[in-house]
Amino acid sequence: MRRFLYFHHMVASQHPSPTNTAGGARRPAALLFDVDGTLAETERDGHRVAFNRAFRAAGLDWEWSESLYGELLRVTGGKERIRYYVRRYRPDFTFPGDPEAFIAALHESKNRYFAERLAGGGISLRPGVRRLLGEARAAGIPLLIVTTTSPENVAALLEHCLDPGARGWFDLIAAGDVVPAKKPAPDIYRYALAHRGLPANECIAFEDSANGLRAARAAGVPTVVTVSRYSRGEDFSGACLVVDHLGEPGQPFTVLAGDAGGACCVDLDLLGRLLARI
């Protein structure tokens, strides 16, 4: 791992500083990607279904409907979400033993069902994700994952939805309980930036939710929002661009807020222009 990080440091340092590319556009120092809702629509048909399977397997009569899950998503983190649900909707539930251990086991079981679902091909990447990752890799721009989801979920998603070796495309996977406070706290972004010594305002974050946007902005990272199924209608003020997805040449995005300067998809050129405006 140490050698791996060192190698990426060398690659990144061979490239020009973030401030100078042709036409005044700025070269992003790194691209920081959220996972759930941003790389793929994982929540309604992925995590939610897996939570329900885990509940049934544990003999619980809990069932998270699509609309209830929309409310529960306000709480980031699967364990935190279960804890909130019990407090709010099952206040009389008696935990068999230590509540934290019970929630942790339930959550692990959920993650196993989630990984099975990914392996079965039930989830695919959102438009433009593979293209933009490829462009950034070709340009030697570091890629980082910055997420509240568990590391094993990220690994499964990268392996099954992107490429069996995709874990190696990323300089850092900052995930889950590595920081005590999850998004909307900025901690996970600060952790990732500090790990690579990155200047926050020269990077770009990609988020799908208001919680994610708040985390990135509080850490000082300019943020592009690709709204997802559950996050439409949230408050995205502070984003440098809000689109329905990253877009492909044959599948242009729709701009929901901000100025894309006539672009049809989020590419390095557009990101450079967005940074130059900041």
Contacts with Mg ion by CB under 5 A lie at: 34, 36-37, 208-209, 212
36 catalytic residue (yes or no)? yes
**Out of Mg ion, ligand XBP, none, which partner does residue 47 contact, by CB within 5 to 8 A per kind?**
ligand XBP
Decide: 158 and 29 in contact? Cβ < 8 Å.
no
Q: Smallest gap, in angstroms, from Cβ of residue 2 to ligand XBP? A: 26
61 catalytic residue (yes or no)? no
Count CA atoms closer than 13 A to 121's CA, side-chain side.
0
Q: Smallest gap, in angstroms, from Cβ of residue 10 to Mg ion? A: 31
Asked if 37 interacts with ligand XBP (CB under 6 A), we say: yes
Q: Using CB under 6 A, which residues numbered 200 to 219 contact ligand XBP?
A: 212
Count CA atoms closer than 13 A to 218's CA, side-chain side.
16
Number of residues that bind ligand XBP (CB under 6 A): 17
Q: Smallest gap, in angstroms, from Cβ of residue 69 to ligand XBP? A: 9
Mind giving me the DSSP string for 155-196?
A: HHHIIIII-TTGGGG-SEEEEGGGSSS-TTSSHHHHHHHHHH
Asked if 231 interacts with ligand XBP (CB under 6 A), we say: no
Residue 100 to residues 72, 178, 186, Cα–Cα distance (Å): 19, 17, 25
Positive or negative: CA dihedral 260, 265, 266, 269:
negative
Q: Active-site residue numbers?
A: 34, 36
> Which residues bind to ligand XBP, rule: CB under 6 A?
34-37, 43, 47, 76-78, 107, 147-150, 153, 183, 212
